[in-house]
Amino acid sequence: MKSKQNSRILLYIVGVLTSILFISPFYILIVNAFKTKRELFGSTLTLPKEWMLDNFKVALNKLSFLWIGKNFSMEGFFGSALFNSMFITITSTILIIIFSSMAAWILVRTKSKVSNIVFYMFIAAMLVPFQAVMLPLVAFMGRLGLQNRLGIIFMYLGFGSSFSIFLYHGFIKSIPVSLEEAARIDGCGPWKVFWKIIFPTLKPIHVTVAILNTIWIWNDFLLPQLMINKKGTQTIPLKMYLFFGGYSKQWHLAMAGLLIAVIPIIIFYFFAQKHIIEGVTAGSEK
Amino acid sequence: MNYNKKTFCLFAGPIIVAFLMVLVIPLLIGVYYSFTEWNGRMDQVPDFIGLSNYIAIIKDEGFRNAFIFTAKFTVVSVIVINAIGFSLALLVTKKLKISNFMRTIFFMPNLIGGLILGFIWQFIFMGVFQTIGEITGWTFFQGWLADANTGFWGLVIIMVWQMSGYLMVIYIAALQNIPKSLLEAAEIDGANGWAKTRHIIFPMVAPAFTISMFLTLANSFKLFDQNLSLTNGGPGGSTEMLALNIYKTAYTFTNYGAAQAKAVVFFLLVASITMVQVYVNKKKEVEM
């Protein structure tokens, strides 16, 4: 019994040390975001002597984080990095949920050669790395005039389709057909059957699809870099990249900028934590 | 129960259109352009030059180095991330009072995008490591991103920090699916900790292992954002990975035909490596 207790103490020590190791980058980010340029280089590990809020004022401005232009205005907000990131992420995710679940349902319920081929095409596409289509995509979308915020939402729909359809497909297979048959006998068409019966029963998988796509689209850098590199349409990672290039020698500003960029997703995490963990688990079970 | 063509198109049509336009058409165009002297635009038909771009790849030292670096990085990070991810899962399933807290902490880095993550760690390797070096007097901590070797380990460290929490979640689910009775039966039979791990826990988590390896393999091989923001391939291209090499061939050296040929090779590499891995792992699952 004694050795069992000792091993528990050991586990606690290992646990605490590992936690400290994992959390330390956040600590470093926070304390250094509040330091003056001078203090930062003298001591990177200690708490700031004086908490500098000015760093954030400058960083917010340079990142166009909450507004674009000189002062805050509603119009300026619609060109801000936060708005662009939120608009693109939310709209894309909603469209992915609607169209992937529709497609997955009809693919499960239609037993034909075409439906099989279409399904395997979506699955096979998961093996295509973005770089393989990157250059022609830029040229093609440029030609169609889709290098803008709406265009990028359309592109996320295309890129998000494979994995999302795959997730819905697996879930829908387990829904008994009898559920739909009863409704059809009562005279419901496929449109009504899907929206009234199927779509609501897919709720757990909607959450998974929403979370996995939100994290991916929110953090995506390369596609926005190639598609929406115009002032007033840029997302947070893109703004961060430009900001960093210009201020890489001014670490106090850079750290404040990075901290601002990290905050929204951390808030999201603390609100949706349970669902995020469940979503990741469900998304990885094949 | 079958639906007619019209219904099929109504439901599957929109996403098929997006899929074709974003993935299938660019992929086909891309394969064609890899055989041409392409200038990155679509307003004129580029000259067809056959296999020249592909032959150039074989002679391209930068691409070869990027491939070797990427392969090494992938092997190391797959092993390290999975080992740590699995250990974290074992740790947090031990029912300690701080288990939930630890889960939250270990998973958190996953939410931060690769680009931002790379910038944060750039500061740690340059500023914080420098400070630690000065305090302790150990030269070990100095100039991490200025050297190919430590730059390599820098990339491994940030991938471990980012991904091991994700794998932990997958492994936790697998560990919780192991029936308690099985472990109790083994204990009655006198199995010690290691015997239980080897004969029960490992075989039971084999499917999770397949997925985790797939994820780490694919992510490591395709790594771009972290590579760009942490070292930008430096010093002197020594930490440049394949995705970054392709990106720079196109946008820094404006050599689009060559970059597209590299991208096709990259696609074939990623697809075949991940397929082989899943096949091998699946086979092992059955044997156990």
Q: Write out pLDDT tens, residues B189-247.
A: 888 888 888 888 888 899 999 999 999 999 999 999 999 999 999 898 999 999 999 99
Q: Which of A132, A261, A262 sits opposite B30 (nearest CB)?
A: A132
> What chain A residue is nearest to B163 in terms of C-alpha separation?
A22
- Chain A residues in contact with B42 by the CB 8 A cut-off are 139-140, 142-143
Cβ A187 vs Cβ A228: under 8 Å? no
In this predicted structure, what is the pLDDT of residue A175?
A: 92
Chain B residue nearest residue A249, CA to CA = B123
Q: Are A154 and B18 in contact (CB under 8 A)?
A: yes
Does the global pTM surpass 0.90?
yes
Element (H, E) at A246: helix A236-247
Could you tell me the CA-to-CA distances from A268 to A39, A157, A215 in Å, in that order? 32, 22, 10
How far away is chain B from the Cα of A75, in angstroms, using its nearest Cα? 27
Q: Which residues of A touch B115 (CB under 8 A)?
A: 219, 221, 237, 240-241
Mean pLDDT of B88-109: 94
CB B247 within 8 A of CB B225: no
Q: In which residue ranges of chain A is pLDDT below 70?
A: 1-2, 286
For A160, the enclosing helix (H) or strand (E) is: helix A149-172
- Comparing CB atoms, the residue among A114, A135, A221 nearest residue B225 is A221
What DSSP character marks residue A49?
Answer: S
Q: How confident is the model at residue B259 (pLDDT cuts 50, 70, 90)?
A: very high
CB B227 within 8 A of CB B239: yes
In angstroms, what separates the C-alpha of B199 from chain A's closest C-alpha?
22
Q: Are B129 and B141 in contact (CB under 8 A)?
A: yes
Please judge whether B98 and A45 are an interchain contact, meaning their C-beta atoms are less than 8 angstroms apart. no
ipTM: 0.93
Average pLDDT of chain B is: 93
- Flag whether residue B21 sits within 8 Å of chain A, measured between CB atoms: yes
pLDDT confidence of B2, banded at 50, 70, 90? low
Query: For the residues B269-278, what does the mean pLDDT come to?
Result: 95
Q: How far is CA A181 from CA A178, A195, A198, B2, in A?
A: 5, 14, 12, 11
- Distance between CA A248 and CA A236 in Å, rounded? 17
Burial of A270 (0-12, 13-18, 19+ CB in 10 A): exposed
The shortest C-alpha distance from B113 to chain A (Å) reads 4
Contacts with B245 from chain A: Cβ below 8 Å: none
Cβ of A132 within 8 Å of Cβ of B29? The answer is: no
Yes or no, beta carbons of A11 and B96 under 8 Å apart: yes
The confidence score (pLDDT) of residue A71 equals 82
Give just the sign of the alpha carbon dihedral B249, B255, B261, B264. Answer: positive
pLDDT in tens, A20-33: 999 999 999 999 99
Residue A44's Cβ-count burial label (10 Å; 0-12, 13-18, 19+) is buried
Residue in A with minimal Cα distance to B127: A44
**Cβ-defined contact of B33 to A136 (cutoff 8 Å):** yes
From B122's Cα to the closest Cα of chain A, the distance in A is 10
Of B94, B105, B260, the CB nearest to A135: B260
Q: CA-nearest residue of chain B to A122?
A: B19
Tokens of A2: 């004694």
Q: Which amino acid is at A239?
A: K
Nearest-CA residue of chain A relative to B172? A281
Q: Is the peptide bond before A190 cis (omega within 30 degrees of 0)?
A: no
Q: Which helix (H) or strand (E) holds A255?
A: helix A251-284
pLDDT at position A2 is 65
Q: What is the pLDDT of residue B43?
A: 84
Where do we find the tokens 């000189």?
A70
* pLDDT at residue B287 tops 70: no
Task: For residues B156 and B140, give the distance between their C-alpha atoms in angstroms, rounded to a whole number.
Answer: 17
Question: Between chains, do B111 and A32 touch, taking CB under 8 Å as contact?
Answer: no
**Residues of A with CB below 8 A from B166's CB?**
280
Residues of B with Cβ-Cβ distance to A29 under 8 angstroms: 120, 123
- Tell me if B127 and A251 make a contact (CB, 8 A cut-off): yes
Distance of CA B270 to the CA centre of its chain: 10
pLDDT for residue B1 = 56
Percent of the residues in chain B that have a pLDDT greater than 70, as a whole number: 98
Chain B contacts of A237, Cβ < 8 Å?
113, 115-116
Tell me if B14 and A244 make a contact (CB, 8 A cut-off). no
Interatomic CA distance for residues B218 and A111, integer angstroms: 32
State CA B167 to chain mean position distance.
12
Calpha distance A85→A199 (Å, rounded): 27
Inter-chain CB pairs, A–B, below 8 Å: 267
